Structure 1
Amino acid sequence: MASIEFLAFLEELLTPERKALFNKVIEQRTNHFTVVTEDVYQLHNTSAVIRSCDVFGIQNVHVIEEQKVKKIDREIAMGAQKWVTLNRHDDSLKCISKLREDGYQIIATSPNAEAIELSDFDITKPSALFLGTEKDGLSNEVLSIADQCIRIPMVGFTESLNISVSAAIILQELTSRLRKSKISWELSDYDKNEVKFEWLRKSFKNFDHLVTRFENS
């Protein structure tokens, strides 16, 4: 990560309004929840999930692409890919193993009647929220080893929701409860600086020139 001095140097190049916005948004970011999409081939769906993560303050997003590697749709994400940290994986089990090493419980989303209703889900533990396709859902691999399954209550004839809609509903509910709780959900100072540096790096087209300017100052 960049030095505190270099971060301060870059921040001073922002407009006061932009600097204030960065500081406001970083205070609402969390790694208490992270979102994982598994083999979602429709690019607009993955991109819309990324956008929802940015809106609700989720900093880290994991994209599993076992079958096909595709490019995130920049237009649909509407720039959100600049502000969230995108982690790409080519194997579901390896992704789960890494998340568990990082202290996350694995939470699968499923319409299964035995799943816990969203409103009853215990938010106290750091959780990785797995989302699958609207048609096929999550793989049996993920469902079989998940620590818990959650579902969105539905009372209509339709039994499934588009993945991006599901993500928005789940994140709005869980992050709203999280911010009202006494859980320590905020990023650490180290993580705040690391994330802010990435935001700053992506904000300047002449970033390499700025590095040289700082080193020679």
Structure 2
Amino acid sequence: MTGIADNKDLINRIAEDESAYQYLRSFVTPNKQQLFEKVLAHRTRHVTVVLEDIYQPQNASAVIRSCDCFGIQDLHIIEVEHTYELNKKVVKGASKWVDRHHYSSNEDAIKQLKNNGYKIVATTPHTDMTLDELPLDDKVALMFGTESTGLTDYALSEADYKIRIPMYGFSESFNISVSAAVSLNHLMTKLHNSQDIKWQLSPEEYKRQEIRWILKVINKVETHVKDFYKKQRSKYE
């Protein structure tokens, strides 16, 4: 179910109207405003995560929690055979702060990501390239498949890069949620240490994301939005 915070037209309207932005921001406590600023300073769309038909709710929820913890703003979810489900005990509210994008086919997801400038990065133990060797000059979309079968042949064939996480034990692969956490920790550390890569949100993205979060935390937000625009109309009547 979509809510007011998912209304892109409204968010754009508020972003372009400083009085509307400041009015709604006034309902957010100073502590929450400072927290938004702190988190947004480390948010990124330079790296994103793609889950292909992940059906274990615990793992799916752990991934979205890792995305939030490491500053990843978007999670792309492909649902061909399995519906993505959240485990509230695992996600612990992280789904409120990470934008989820759902697709019914691999083709649609990969096409949209490539159109948005992402290099598709397939995670698989069956490759020579390691996580450390992945270039980050372009935006990257890390794709993770199911633990039992991994990524589909289509995802692997469309990938710009195939990477593996170095391992030194008997097991061939990590749990999917561990793989995502290890990968994001490594890549975000590289981005934070980079002097050349512009990985932070643009000023426009920053403001729109803040507005979306504002709309999520204000009590009776629909009433406040209606009241503001009602008062605005009355000025010209």
Normalising by structure 2, report the TM-score: 0.87
Give the CA deviation at 1:196: 1.1
1:156 aligns with 2:169: yes
Partner of 2:184: 171
- Which stretches in structure 1 are left out of the alignment for 5+ residues? none
RMSD over aligned CA atoms reads: 1.2
Partner of 2:200: 186
Percent same amino acid at aligned positions?
Answer: 40
In structure 2, the residue corresponding to 1:36 is in which secondary structure?
strand
| Alpha carbons of structure 1 residues 135 and 176: separation in structure 2 relative to 1, 3 Å | same
Partner of 2:214: 200
Query: Could you tell me whether the CA contact under 8 Å between 1:74 and 1:81 is conserved in 2?
Result: no
- Output the amino acid matched with 2:20: F
Q: Which has the larger radius of gyration?
A: 2
Residue 86 of structure 2 is aligned with which of 62, 65, 72?
72
Query: Could you tell me whether the CA contact under 8 Å between 1:115 and 1:148 is conserved in 2?
Result: no
- Output the amino acid matched with 2:149: D
Size of the aligned set, in residue pairs, is 216
CA distance in 1, matches of 2:24, 2:165: 43
| Alpha carbons of structure 1 residues 107 and 66: separation in structure 2 relative to 1, 3 Å | same
| Alpha carbons of structure 1 residues 35 and 70: separation in structure 2 relative to 1, 3 Å | closer
CA distance in 1, matches of 2:185, 2:176: 14
CA distance in 2, matches of 1:96, 1:137: 17
Q: What whole-Å deviation, never above 9, does each CA across 1:47-87 have from its counterpart, x for those lacking one?
A: 11011000000101101010132432333211111111110
Query: Could you tell me whether the CA contact under 8 Å between 1:52 and 1:168 is conserved in 2?
Result: yes
1:137 aligns with 2:150: yes
CA distance in 2, matches of 1:53, 1:26: 13
CA distance in 1, matches of 2:219, 2:129: 46
1:59 aligns with 2:73: yes
CA distance in 2, matches of 1:6, 1:203: 16
Normalising by structure 1, report the TM-score: 0.95
- Which stretches in structure 2 are left out of the alignment for 5+ residues? 1-11, 232-237
CA distance in 1, matches of 2:209, 2:61: 20
Partner of 2:101: 87
Runs of 4+ residues over 4 Å off in structure 1: none
- Output the amino acid matched with 1:144: S
